[in-house]
A and B are shown apart, each in its own frame.
Chain A
Amino acid sequence: MRQLIRILEGIGSTVLLCVRAASYAPTLPRQFGRFIEQCYLIGYTTMPIVAILSFFIGAVLALQSGTAAANIGPKQFIGLLVGLTMARELGPVMAAVLLAGRVGSAIAAELASMKVYQEIDALETMNIPPARMLVAPRLAAVLAMMPVLTIMADLVGWFGGAIVAKYTQTISIEPASYFATMRQYMDFGDVLNGLVKAEVFGFVVVLVCCNIGLNTRGGPREIGASVTRAVVVSLILILVLDYFLTKALL
């Protein structure tokens, strides 16, 4: 029962924080510096790890499907399979998972530390709402950066699949043929589908991590606990939302 109350409190405070942060959207133009700083942290610093993981996910997809298809015959559809899977599913999900692990944990740690060391209290006594200064620029930045990360994940994943498809002896498909099936059977709607998911995942991850950080109670030990909670809750939410969004967008 206590656990349920805590979950409901968490949902309530997250929604409240979302509403508060949204109400400060008009202040974003004059927080442009903070927005750019967050874009750098969320986007630029996450790009290398997203690229590496996406490359190998695309490669593994091509390898697995290519090996299986080699026994049946329709190898030319590997491009379509990798393309669709990356665009509609793995691109946004992987970008969001990496965002939770790399950026979400950092956000939760920073805000939890600010809370524990009374910096949040200091902001409030100065009549500077934390939702305005600390949350709104991060939410705006994640909305701006998630499409970039996702498109990059898609492209690198497709490229990784193409390389494996060409150089694996049992598959051996030319990139032209690999990308031809992608072009033939995929359209922009498939990519857009993934971008919508990515925006929702990114927004929820940053919002949840901000809320958990800002609601940290106790001493320095709680900072670590908040970071763990933020990452775990984010990962669960990504997968739960993924199911419902997939169903809604089919």
Chain B
Amino acid sequence: MPTPTPIVTPAAVSAPGAAAVGVRIENLVKTFGSFEVLRDISFSVAPGEIFVLMGPSGSGKSVLLKHLVGLELPTSGRVEVDGRDASSPRTREEVRMALVFQAGALFNSMTVYDNLALYPREHRTDDEAGIREKVMRALQILSLENAGHKLPAELSGGMKKRVAIARALVMEPQLMLYDEPTSELDPVMAATITEIIATLKEQYHVTTIVVSHDRDLAFGIADRVGILMGGRLISLGPPEDLRQPRDPRIADFLNPPIDLQNPRFKQLET
């Protein structure tokens, strides 16, 4: 039986030498109207660390992630990337940050190749030959060599996520952010994406923050895991601490019991 080709080919990965950056969040509060989405969040992520932020849907994970790239502004508190205010447009100019969106957010009118080439073209980081080399290398790393000419609409969900990661990779980021990278994927593709995240961090030494529901991802690759519930960070520590959590809310979230005698949706109704 032939050995399957790994999606990420470590030999193809060559570190670009960008210095990883740290992240610091201090007393972050975010409200939309009268609704408080994030309540007094404080934590930091060290350069080169993989930090996984978990929590139920609607707990504010994605909103928190958006603060790091300046897509959302804090109501109060401070978010710093490499010691700079993340809400300042200058930070985006000085620190290379890449966000892999949950749905990929690929540019639908462009081919996969042009999606990847957009950043270096717009920022004139290389000439066209250099851009081609970078794009082809990123496509090769994610085993997408034959997808360059395709439009995003022609790709499967897993391929879209890989293209989004490849696009981020071309930016040679110092901070890599993933929003639900394994959602809507089958277990094999979810494991593949998890391996890609870990391999890229290993090879590029890039600071990585992942927002996810995926326990396997968190326990498999995280250096530290934070649990966000109701807008509050209720747990922060190495993944080992979460294998047998003492907090019943965390235990219930990570290992939700299925009780047909007392179903959850009935509790929701009351």
Chain A residues with CB under 8 Å of chain B are 110, 113-114, 117-119, 121-122, 124-128, 133
Contacts and interface: CB of A to CB of B under 8 A. Distances in A.
Contacts of A125: 69, 71, 92, 97-99
Given A124-B69, A125-B97, A126-B98, 16 more contacts: A117-B105, A117-B108, A121-B66, A121-B71, A122-B99, A122-B106, A122-B107, A125-B69, A125-B71, A125-B92, A126-B122, A127-B92, A127-B123, A128-B118, A128-B123, A133-B122
A126 B171 contact: yes
Interface of A is mostly: helix
B98 A127 contact: no
B219 interface: no
14 contacts: A110-B109, A113-B108, A114-B107, A119-B105, A121-B66, A122-B105, A122-B106, A125-B71, A125-B97, A125-B98, A126-B122, A127-B93, A128-B119, A128-B122
Interface residues of B, number: 21
Nearest to A132: B122
A106 to B, nearest CB: 12
Contacts of B93: 127
Interface in B50-74: 66, 69-71
A118 B101 contact: yes
B230 to A, nearest CB: 24
B267 to A, nearest CB: 29
Contact of A118 (B97, B103, B118): B103
A50 to B, nearest CB: 25
Contacts of A110: 109
Contacts of B119: 126, 128
Interface of B: 66, 69-71, 92-93, 97-99, 101, 103, 105-109, 118-119, 122-123, 171
Contacts of A126: 98, 118-119, 122, 171
A120 B70 CA distance: 13
Nearest to B99: A125
B211 to A, nearest CB: 14
Contacts of B70: 124
A117 B107 CA distance: 9
Most chain A CB within a 10 A radius of its CB, from B98, B107, B122:
B122
Contacts of B105: 117-119, 121-122
Contacts of B108: 113, 117, 119
A109 B93 CA distance: 29
* Interchain residue pairs A-B with the least CB separation, the first 7: A118-B105, A122-B105, A127-B92, A125-B99, A125-B69, A128-B122, A126-B119
Nearest to B177: A125
B66 to A, nearest CB: 8
B178 to A, nearest CB: 12
Contacts of B101: 118, 121-122
A128 B125 CA distance: 13
B103 A117 contact: yes
Contacts of A114: 107
A110 to B, nearest CB: 8
A59 B11 CA distance: 72
A133 B106 CA distance: 16
A124 B118 CA distance: 12
Contacts of B171: 126
Contacts of B69: 124-125
Nearest to A110: B109
A124 B103 contact: no
Q: Among the interface residues A118, A121, A125, which one has the most CB atoms of the partner chain B within 10 A?
A: A125
A124 B107 CA distance: 13
B176 to A, nearest CB: 11
A119 B108 CA distance: 9
Contacts of A117: 103, 105, 108
A33 to B, nearest CB: 11
Contacts of B109: 110
B101 to A, nearest CB: 5
Contacts of A121: 66, 71, 99, 101, 105
Contacts of B98: 125-126
A121 B66 CA distance: 9
A147 B100 CA distance: 43
A114 B107 CA distance: 8
A121 B119 CA distance: 14
Nearest to A129: B89
Residue of A110, A119, A121 most packed against chain B (CB within 10 A): A119
A125 B119 CA distance: 10
A119 B107 CA distance: 6
A125 B106 CA distance: 13
A98 to B, nearest CB: 24
